[in-house]
Copies of this chain bind each other. A is one copy, B any other.
Amino acid sequence: MEKKKRVTSYDVAHQAGVSQSAVSRVFRPGLSVSKKTREKVLATAKKMGYKPNAIARMLITQSSGMIAVIVSSRANLNYPDVLSLLNKRIAEANKRVLLFTLDDAEGLEDILDHLWTYQVDGVIALAAHFDHNSISQFEQHHIPVVLYNRQVADHSVSSVSCNHEMGLKQLVDLLIKHNHKDYLIISGPQDSDVANERRFFAEQALAENGFKDTPVVYGDYTYESGRLALSKYLKNHKRPTAIICGNDNMAIGVVDEAKQNFGLSVPKDLSVVGFDGINAATWFSYQITTIRQPANQMTKAAVDILLDQIENKHNVAETRFWSGELIEGMSVAEANPE
């Protein structure tokens, strides 16, 4: 079984006694071909084990049928869910996901180079940091992009986002209502755009209520970093009564650290809020008050927008926004200073 040459449309055509283009037409939906030849072709194709070669098809149609999804390792840990949803929707559109991860090893430039060569039909970027230069490159290559939870203000590029401003305002308002006056912000990493946005809007909402210069410490979105951030902070500072976390994972870490190493109980001694609305945030032992991102709607919109731009080749950028849903857990209570 040396070189079992793969069977091509020519082979099928020859065997079935028709032309190669007839075979091609049979396998392209919606093209005119008589019942008789269609059946004849399908039968011999099946017998010979013929499957159209998508690579050759890509070359001639100038369209790969592949969507690149770029997920940043700096990004929030709720992205596995998002990726899964995206993949499902893209598959429904009969396209495929080509996966890229953006990390220290492989920077954006490397990934972009691959994108051009792979001729992907479009790109969905999860919270990756795109500067203007990158966006221009996409325009030059005529590849539509949809940014997920990331916007580039003065450039025409589509995006779907959760309204972090409104979400944080809701969370802060809730804390204010419970008479909190001593805050701490535990932000996601400084090189994450989403993290910076959430931190900024938290500060802004606090400032609107007269609380300026709220202390900020930084984690990296993980559970452990939430714990560490709290323990380091409490070593040198007075205990705050409310902590605003950059995501749910860190909020959960904060709850555990407070409980285990500082004998603080949430929410009696400490109110904690998160962001994202991941599953674990609803678990009985945590019940974090948080903002749930509408991942279902957001992923659906991302794919819809992208497909529209691919098909209609127009250049107008569309931005869609969702205000997250406030989930009131059991992690916020009346302020209780020490």
Chain A residues with a Cβ under 8 A of chain B: 4, 49, 51-59, 64, 66, 69, 80-81, 83-84, 87-88, 91-92, 96-101, 103, 105-106, 113-114, 116-119, 140, 142, 223, 252, 255-257, 259-260, 279-280, 283-286
Q: A99-B96, A101-B87, A223-B279 are in contact. Are A51 and B116 (CB under 8 A)?
A: yes
Other-chain residue from B55, B57, B284 in contact with A256 (beta carbon distance below 8 A) = B284
20 A-B pairs besides A53-B119, A84-B101 with CB distance below 8 A are: A4-B142, A55-B64, A56-B59, A57-B117, A69-B99, A80-B84, A83-B83, A88-B101, A96-B98, A98-B98, A98-B99, A223-B279, A223-B280, A252-B283, A255-B285, A256-B283, A256-B284, A256-B285, A260-B284, A285-B285
Contact between A105 and B84, CB atoms less than 8 A apart: no
Give every chain B residue within 8 A of A285 (Cβ-Cβ).
255-256, 259, 285-286
Q: Is the interface of A mostly helix, strand, loop or mixed?
A: helix
Count the copies.
Answer: 2
Q: Which residue of B is nearest A284, CB measured?
A: B256
Contact between A55 and B119, CB atoms less than 8 A apart: yes
Give every chain B residue within 8 A of A113 (Cβ-Cβ).
51
A98 to B142, CA, bound (A): 22
Best-buried of A49, A116, A279, A283 by chain B (most CB within 10 Å): A283
A16 to B169, CA, bound (A): 59
Distance in Å: Cβ of A62 to nearest Cβ of chain B: 8
Give every chain B residue within 8 A of A92 (Cβ-Cβ).
105
Contact between B101 and A52, CB atoms less than 8 A apart: no
Q: A98-B98, A283-B256 are in contact. Are A117 and B49 (CB under 8 A)?
A: no
A97 to B64, CA, bound (A): 15
A236 to B81, CA, bound (A): 35
Q: Which residue of B is nearest A118, CB measured?
A: B54
Give every chain B residue within 8 A of A87 (Cβ-Cβ).
99, 101
A105 to B87, CA, bound (A): 13
